[in-house]
Structure 1
Amino acid sequence: MRYPNPLQLNTGGSADSVASWEGQRREELLSEFRENVYGQSLPLPTEQTFDVTEAEVDGIVRRNVTISVTGPEGTGSFDLRLFLPKADRPPLGTFLMIDHRGSVGDSPSASSDYAPIPTITEAGYAFAQIDAEQIAPDESDGYRSPIIDLFHPEGEDLPDDAGRAISAWAWGASRAMDYLETDPDIDPARVAVIGHSRGGKASLWAGAQDTRFAAVISNNSGSTGAKPARRGDGGVGAETVERINDSFPHWFPQTYRAFDGDEDALPVDQHELLALVAPRRIVVASATDDANADPEGEFLSYVAASRVYDLYGLGDTGLPSPDWKPATDTGFRGPAMSYHLRSGGHGLTAADWRTYLDGDLFSREPSGDGRR
């Protein structure tokens, strides 16, 4: 498969140094993704406030934060839940989940393998969650309320290149990060944004744009996540650009529809999205039986992104080989890149979380032969 060269400048030549990557090429790629794939992001709020309440539940400190944001068309809000381990030392790091399932409530003991809060806090980490439905409901006729319409007149169509739900969820993660920077118990230099499936698409877009996230975790993100668009269905019936636009017309801008069935015309591809996280840690997780997300494609994107990490001396993927198929149920870790292929189907499971919690995601120290 032919990948676009992530280092090829639009004006010709190559970004062959960190300076040219950060000074020119990175912004070129962000601009192309905004125009053609994810849409233009919402602007910063004109005003933002945090209303915090605290309780101790099942031995875990929980903070509920109402994040209120104001735009030209009014004020709205959404909630952040933050769970802190009870310990004498600060958390080892924080996982911020873009939760499209609404699976996290106020009681940590009611959580599932999708968001195993007691397991995470017992490992010494904090866990934060935003409910994507509170930001942009996952429906084609209601996704603009309550947040997007704060920045666009309610009775008018959005511009063709305006971001829709996925972009709004990513924007919400950045507003949650605004709060985490103020919390006295959180080290803002050790926050990972994580999402599964459609949440994984949003987490990648959030991490590509917002360099405050120290790590970006894509769990089974598939089409318009870690999977390359140019692979089409990957020979396994995976979701394509056309299928995702037809099934979820509220996720991406109208400009993305120009590439339905014509993925080769895209000026970017998804390995370049992963590369935009460099030099911070990128984490790609796939599942063997998740054909819709194309695990081989996600693997190939991960390997291809290492070309940009090489500029920083961080191009070691931790893999023993760049060829598909790697060992299953094994975590591979380089200085700034992590990957695993879990047995089974589409999901965020206890096995995935064990890999993340054991993966030392906030360090650039290599771990032996790459396996963990």
Structure 2
Amino acid sequence: MKRILLCLQLLWLCGCGAAGGVDVIVTNPSSYARTLESVEIEWAKLGERGITADRVIVEDEQRNQIPSQVIFDKNGVAQRLLFQASVEASAKSRYKIKEGIADSYEPKVYGRYVPERLDDYAWENNLTAYRIYGPRLSDPKTQGVDVWVKNTEKLIINEWFARNDYHHNYGEGMDCYKVGNTLGGGALAIVQESQLLLSGNYLQQECVANGPLRTEAEFIYAPVAVDGRNVAIKRRIWLDANSRFSFQEYELTGFEGEIEVAAGVVMHDVKDITQQGNWLALTEPASDSSDAERDGDILLGVILQGAEKQSRFQTLSSPNQQPQHALLLRKAKAGEKILMLNGSAWSHAGVAGGAEWAEQVKQAADKLNNPLQVKIK
């Protein structure tokens, strides 16, 4: 009898450890389906079950392996496991995390430092592409985001930079967006006396993750003088596969109390603009193009987390008579993690117009406010 009990205990322990895997239940609180949306699990919860970062896989309900990615810190220590879930409206999906050799998946994201183009940093996924500017570029001087439009799901950054002619459309898209000394296609800045204080180009960059599901990088900017105080700025950007929205997390330090910040986009020849709560969406013709009608419309969106009760929709000019911006404003404390999203689409790549795009931005804001619920067993 003791042997039988011992065997049963061993079987139970195996079922709770690495051999049996970890069951994950993902619940969708929304009234619409959530498709290929990233979920994250703290690695500590998996490590205590005996799962190791070099031998981990994720399976769906049909026991098919799906792409996953371990997110590490700068010291190479596993922090989170990332995979993408699909859940019907007000329903649940089940997944299993277990020990195994991960299949090789073609990355859907990519980002890198581009020293051959004056220290640009560019990132993309299967839907969108972006870049920001580095220390060797003399003009513009801004944290603003440049938007590259594309109508292909393949990753194009390396090919376009190698060609050195990305302002021309060879059939897959182009850079036809003008940033200038502005926030471009979506960034955050300090506001002082109804003026945006641009922080200039980044000083330091570090890529911390690169696929297959997420690309992520961190940036440090020169301090910004605000009322005699030098406010330090750190910025973290990440983009996941199958999403039109980059996440940007800012941390401001070097001041007491609160400071006003604004997240938004520059306004060119705006055709349509919509704002509700903590999000805004706008449509405008290609702003850096010799033939805007040929090159179509660029659609932009910004979401500012936690701004529902604090945000104000406002247009402000940056210094030196730069173009106006559409902005969401709020207060922030020193050391607070300020999260915003910037998104983009192209009228030549599956988004018909401003109304459709506004619905996509609205839904992205709702997803941010009501994330998928993840439970492990």
Larger fraction in helix: 1
Normalized against structure 2, the TM-score is what? 0.26
Normalized against structure 1, the TM-score is what? 0.27
Structure of greater Rg: 2
Larger fraction in strand: 2
